[in-house]
Amino acid sequence: MKNLLSLLLLVVVSVWQAGACTTAVISGKYTKDGRPMIWKLRDTESFENKMMYFTDGKYPYIGMINSNDEKGEQVWGGSNAMGFAIMNSASFNVNMQDTTSLKDQEGRFMKLALQQCSNLEEFEQLLKDTPKPMGLAAHFGVLDADGNVAFYEVNNHTFTKFDANDPAQAPNGYILRTNYSFTGKKDIGYGFIRFQTAQDIFYQADAYGNINSQTVIQDFSRCLKHPVLKKDYRKEYETIPYDENFVNSGDLITRHGSSSMILIEGVKEGEDKDMATIWTQVGFPNTSIALPVWVKGGKNLPKVLLADGKENCPLNAMAMELKDRCYPISRSAGYKYLKVSELINAEKTGIIQKLEKAEEELFKNTEEHQKKWRSAKVNKKEIEEFYQWLDDYTYKTYKGMLDTQKYQSL
């Protein structure tokens, strides 16, 4: 009995450590501005995330990393100077009979892809050339500067491509994945309810022609819907005054285990390839403001996204402090229970409500700069100046919710 309990604990811990993400690849044929996108809502035990600019490969690139990964040896989503971008979600129904000890290589593999791939063709060649077994069990969402965008379901030995530009494979122009592969063993894996939620919200947004970066960040990454219970907690609690109101968030797209979000918008023909927009929330998406960065801007990213060595970045630290208010029950299974009134309430003082009010100006300002930069050559200095505005605006946004002085000194 003791051995059985130990085995069950190991399985639970392994699943938790591997990460359970909700992801999508979206064709530019179906987005509002014609640019392809890849989206990852990251779930992992590594709650402290930050961004890093790299020059250690064939191409410069920006990637999201765990804050304690001092050298950036693993990347969990990013884009390079050629407009090639990648993210992933773990798959738990492949390699089931494989006894190889090599596994959990996804972060290292994505770093390698960003270092040396300029398009999907080169990425496929990398998959072919990587020695087998690869130590991979994942869905890799990939886009390039030519408008190609696809998922690759990958196991230790093979891969299968799902093309978002192919009407036969993606009739609605997007493909969703959580934590089971369509090429894997049926009815095994995780994230079936999250997949259903993603289907519902993407279909609804597509019907109204609203698939753009703001919709994905605000409506999808901060979604509080539960399709099985037929509940939309966000809509419900908008009319309920602030109180000790809790919901079980275990099957929501964003739950206690959600550590960050990354959304990458590709470029159009004629635009600079290193101007793909990398939107990120480096902390719990319900408490983290969304900020954009570009490889063209170089290494001087917004300071709120950066930290030296193994330190955590300021934005993540602020988002984590607010997250603690949302999950105040620390004992036993208390992490499942979200104090939803901290996020949404009738008084409109919820964290989500405050962040999204602030993001109205942020999205507007970003769009104005993007229009200018896409029609004319932009230099790093202009982008760095905009990054300074993002830093200032971020602290201004959080000042009303917590003491920002201790984070400005980080």
Please choose, from the candidates 380, 119, 89, the residue with its C-alpha nearest in 3D space to the C-alpha of residue 257: 89
Confidence class of residue 19 from pLDDT cuts 50, 70 and 90? Answer: low
Q: What is the pLDDT of residue 207?
A: 73
Please choose, from the candidates 304, 310, 265, the residue with its C-alpha nearest in 3D space to the C-alpha of residue 283: 304
Q: Taking the CB of residue 168, how many other CB atoms lie within 10 A of it?
A: 6
**How do residues 153-163 score in pLDDT, each as one tens digit?**
999 999 999 99
DSSP string, 264-304: EE---TTS-GGG-EEEEE-S-TTTS--EEE-GGGTT---GG
CATH number of 22-322: 3.60.60.10
Q: What is the pLDDT of residue 206?
A: 83
**How do residues 227-237 score in pLDDT, each as one tens digit?**
999 999 999 99
Q: 0.75 exceeded by the pTM?
A: yes
The gap between the terminal CA atoms of the chain, to the nearest Å, is 48
Reduced to 3 states, what is the DSSP secondary structure of residue 63?
A: strand
Main-chain phi, psi angles of 246, to 5 degrees? -120, 150
Distance of CA 79 to the CA centre of its chain: 13
**How do residues 276-306 score in pLDDT, each as one tens digit?**
999 999 999 999 999 999 999 999 999 999 9
Q: Where are the domains of the chain?
A: 22-322
- Average pLDDT along the chain: 94
Q: What percent of the chain has pLDDT over 90?
A: 92
**How do residues 334-367 score in pLDDT, each as one tens digit?**
999 999 999 999 999 999 999 999 999 999 999 9
